[in-house]
Amino acid sequence: MDQQILNAIFIGSIYALFAVGYTLVFGVLDILNLAHSAVFMLGAAVTYSLTVNHGQPFWIACILGIAVSAVMGLVIEYVCLRPLRRRKAPPIAALISTVGLALIIVAAIEQGQTGTFFSWLWVDGPNSVAFPAGTIPNPTWHVGDLTLEASKVAIIPISIALMLILGYVIRYTQVGRGLRAVAENPRAARLLGLDVDRMIALTLVISSALGGLAGILFGVALGDISPYIGRDNVEVRGLAVIVLGGMGSVPGAVIGGYLLGFIEVLALVVLGSSARGGVAFAALFLMLVLRPQGLFGAQLREKI
Amino acid sequence: MDFFIQLFTDPVGFWNSHTLLIAQIGINSILASSMFVVLYSGQLSLAAPGFMAIGAYTAVLMDLYWHTPLALNILGGVVLAGAVGVLVGLPVLRLRGVFLAIATIGFIEALRLGLILNLPITGEGLGLKNPTADPLGGINMVLASVAVVLFVMWRLTKGRLGAAWSAIRQDELAALSQGIHVARYKMIAFVLSAVLAGFAGGLEAHLNFFVDPGDQQYGVTRAVQILTFAVLGGSGHFIGPVVGALVVTSLPWVFQQAQTYINVVTGIFLIAVIVFRPQGIVGRGGLALVRPWWWPRRNVRAPSPG
């Protein structure tokens, strides 16, 4: 049981880290960035590829994986979002363009096999792989009847530190004030001399870097890296997390992530593994029906 | 290219070799119409795959256990989908925009992961065999259904119901102040959408020997795909979503050379269309794709749900 609680905290940290990026974009732009789960997968895939196929040290691969994710955030902004903003398209159009980008990213990784066009990026096609033992430092401790693997334990301080830094930046720095101003009212922010487009690009970069990092942590801790980890594990759960915490609220996404981790582990223990997914979504549905603003959301804003 | 060459030079051969594709386009057109109804009334609901699953499983199970005729099976699925639509619609229709979308995602995934993958009667995730399926013979029925659905859509959008939906989409508060019973009309749209999705689900199940409870079939992936039909085609006119379904469904056949990279091509296509024509292929004014320079400028704005 203690081990299960620990697992809930591990997986909750990954959900939280992923959802923070999701909710940041929703808070600033009022759109759902459906390419976020593809960026999550890309971060993990690039790190794996650099470590295992290109023989780079794990730490460098991690940094490059996060950097590639951040650049992908810029791609999302310049290809999928900015042209639509220029044309005053409805927010629903951004759903379609980000889905299109997600399709491209997943298909590119999926087709990466030896001898194909994308082989420099990924060679395992649609298969699921894990870091071979020895490529990453992973000491394991036993405390009582608990098994503590460094790869899992490290998730907790990393994600908490990052979320604290992000919270500090948003709350107390000039950049954070700018972001909040754009989230509140883009037109007023522009009138006050803020470069709104730059703020939005920055939001996407931060969000995607966090998403990529969440992917790396997921891949390291769960030993499951495939083109579909984003779609299968976090795409819809990320929605559940940001709804539980309140759409657009960063602290809400953190609490929501841990909450979902606990709900799922509880469902696993009480109902067995097959009901796990269903329970999470039933919770999501009930939450929206009973308290649509989430646990920590401000009052509902009508957008999209 | 071969696709179009065959389509124009050898229509009969095209029909024979692409029957399954044409049937799938038909099914997707009905699904796109189901999405159109909710979008036209200003609601972003992604519940269609859930109602499809209800329609499909009900039809196949009635056939397996009671050996009832096909029409009755599909009708059973449609009725059950409509009834569930009322039950789901009552709580969720108070939500708007992306909140409604996420709540309906919660509904379809709770239904699929919670019930369909766990109940013994639905095959517990292994799916259901459907021995009486008729993949090729069902095509006439599918095309007739598409014609009926399109006719109904045309009459509805021209009538009082369509006017009310349109008013709610454009400004819910104004519609309310004009005496339009907003909650009732939203519910009608939601249930009609559920009925259409249940119908499409039943039809699709009849075309396949196997009912597969995967994400591509009754999950979020399918929901987003159906949304793509409607938004890409243009949700301001009833013909738009059907055009979207036609274009998106036939893309893999049109770009046969791309083969394994078909999803890359599809992704580029989606982004290109939505970036250059945010209001969809069929804009608000109908099928006019390009405005000739001498034609008076129309104020084209994308219809926004919510």
B52-56, B122-126, B184-188: segment of lowest average pLDDT: B122-126
Chain A residues in contact with B115 by the CB 8 A cut-off are 278
Q: For A135-164, b where at least 16 C-beta lie within 10 A, e where not — what string?
A: bbeeeeeeeeeeeeeebbbbbeebbeebbe
pLDDT the model gives residue B223: 92
| CB–CB contact B96 A302 (8 Å) | yes
B301 pLDDT exceeds 70? no
Give the confidence band of B226 by pLDDT, cuts at 50, 70, 90. Answer: very high
Q: For B207-220, b where at least 16 C-beta lie within 10 A, e where not — what string?
A: bbeebebebebbbb
Q: What angle do CA A173, A207, A67 make, to 5 degrees?
A: 100
Q: Nearest-CA residue of chain B relative to A105?
A: B264
* B280 contacts B235 by C-beta, under 8 angstroms: yes
What 3-state class would DSSP assign to B285?
coil
**Chain segment B261-271, per-residue pLDDT in tens:** 888 888 898 88
Q: Does A125 touch chain B (CB under 8 A)?
A: no
**Partner residues linked to A124 by β-bridges:** A113
pLDDT the model gives residue B85: 95
* B92 contacts B205 by C-beta, under 8 angstroms: no
Question: Rounded CA gap, A172 and A235, in Å?
Answer: 30
| CB–CB contact B102 A288 (8 Å) | yes
* A17 contacts A253 by C-beta, under 8 angstroms: no
- The mean pLDDT value for B27-41 works out to 94
A298 phi/psi in degrees, rounded to 5: -75, -170
Nearest to A30 by CA among B103, B96, B41, B274: B96
| CB–CB contact A106 B305 (8 Å) | no
- The mean pLDDT value for B210-239 works out to 87
| CB–CB contact B114 A284 (8 Å) | no
Looking at CATH, the fold of the domain delimited by A2-128+150-290 is given as ABC transporter involved in vitamin B12 uptake, BtuC (1.10.3470)
- The mean pLDDT value for B232-254 works out to 88
* A232 contacts A241 by C-beta, under 8 angstroms: no
Q: Nearest-CA residue of chain A relative to B111?
A: A278
Chain B residues in contact with A282 by the CB 8 A cut-off are 106, 110, 114
Closest partner residue to B91 (CB to CB) among A102, A289, A303 is A289
pLDDT the model gives residue B4: 79
Give domain limits for chain A. Answer: 2-128+150-290
| CB–CB contact A274 B269 (8 Å) | no
A111-125, A156-170, B187-201: segment of lowest average pLDDT: A111-125
Give the confidence band of B292 by pLDDT, cuts at 50, 70, 90. Answer: low
Compute the mean pLDDT over every residue in chain B, rounded to the nearest whole number: 86
Q: For residue A138, what are its two tokens?
A: 């992973």
CA distance A105 to chain B (A): 8
Q: For B90-105, b where at least 16 C-beta lie within 10 A, e where not — what string?
A: eebbebbbbbbbbbbb
Residues 81-110 in A contacting B (C-alpha not used; CB under 8 Å):
83-84, 87-93, 95-97, 99-104, 106-108, 110
pLDDT the model gives residue B253: 83
Integer angstrom CA distances of residue A279 from A26, A100, B108, B284 = 25, 29, 12, 41
Q: For an interface test with B, which of A285, A286, A290, A300 has the most B Cβ atoms less than 10 Å from its Cβ?
A: A285
A149 pLDDT exceeds 90? no
Beta carbon pairs, A and B, within 8 Å: 166
| CB–CB contact A236 B109 (8 Å) | yes
Chain B residues in contact with A41 by the CB 8 A cut-off are none
A142 phi/psi in degrees, rounded to 5: -120, 115
Question: In this structure, is the dihedral angle defined by the CA atoms of residues B16, B145, B284 and B303, taken in order, positive or negative?
Answer: negative
pLDDT the model gives residue B265: 86
Chain B residues in contact with A108 by the CB 8 A cut-off are 264
**A270-273: long-range contacts, CB 8 A cutoff, minimum separation 24:** none
ipTM over 0.90: no
What 3-state class would DSSP assign to B33?
helix
| CB–CB contact A285 B106 (8 Å) | yes
pLDDT the model gives residue B288: 46
A103 pLDDT exceeds 70? yes
Share of chain B above pLDDT 90, in %: 39
**Partner residues linked to A143 by β-bridges:** A146
**Chain segment A177-194, per-residue pLDDT in tens:** 999 899 888 889 999 989
| CB–CB contact A288 B305 (8 Å) | no
Question: Rounded CA gap, A34 and A99, in Å?
Answer: 6
Give the confidence band of A65 by pLDDT, cuts at 50, 70, 90. Answer: very high
**Chain segment A244-284, per-residue pLDDT in tens:** 888 778 888 888 899 888 888 888 888 777 677 778 788 88
B304 pLDDT exceeds 70? no
Nearest to A77 by CA among A209, A182, A211, A204: A204
pLDDT the model gives residue B283: 66
| CB–CB contact A93 B231 (8 Å) | yes
Nearest to A25 by CA among A203, A235, A247, A210: A203
B30 pLDDT exceeds 90? yes
Lookup result for tokens 């730490």: A59
Give the confidence band of A303 by pLDDT, cuts at 50, 70, 90. Answer: very low
CA distance A153 to chain B (A): 30
Pairing of strands A140-143, B128-129: unpaired
Q: Does A119 touch chain B (CB under 8 A)?
A: no
* B97 contacts A304 by C-beta, under 8 angstroms: yes
Q: For an interface test with A, which of B218, B264, B300 has the most A Cβ atoms less than 10 Å from its Cβ?
A: B264
Residue type at A260 in one-letter notation: L
Closest partner residue to A279 (CB to CB) among B99, B114, B306 is B114
B35 pLDDT exceeds 90? yes
pLDDT the model gives residue B285: 46
